[in-house]
Amino acid sequence: MAKNKIAKNQQVNIKNKRAAFEYELIDTFTAGIVLTGTEIKSIRAGKASLVDTYCYFINGELWVKNMYVAPYLAGSYNNHLERRERKLLLNKKELRNLQNDTKAPGFTIVPVLLYINENGLAKLDIALARGKKEYDKRQTMKEKEDRREIDRAKKNSL
């Protein structure tokens, strides 16, 4: 029983670091994910990745593709596929608005953050995004470097 309490207190935040660099994030949503038993155990252990992950619609339902969830080590023949497509759970109104927004050219839906909420459920923060141009990416890198230099100067002055 003590093991379960430790696992619940542990924070799981799996970020898609490339999303903010590659895309301009316009609007964010929090979606639930349909998972199997071994998948949630792997996610709670922090064994997942959102690299090269994207979302798309099939018959009015939102799905996430290419999300990596490592096989659960103690799982037997019931173990899941690592990169299977997983259904996302949102309200009908949110789904309808997202689907209409993605019909516009240049817009897509990207996963930003995978986490376990206070109730122990896996949640995925997704964002409606527009791809950045090359000069926008250079501007982002310049701003990041400037922030680093300011932080270094503050640290050295103390």
Class of domain 2-132: mainly beta
Average pLDDT over residues 21-27: 89
Average pLDDT of span 117-130: 93
pLDDT tens across 37-84, in order? 889 989 999 999 999 999 999 999 999 999 999 998 887 777 888 899
Looking at the chain, the whole-number percentage of residues with pLDDT higher than 70 is 94
Q: What is the pTM of this model?
A: 0.79
Domain spans of the chain? 2-132
Give Cα separations from 66 to 31, 90, 103, 115, 149 (angstroms).
17, 19, 21, 17, 36
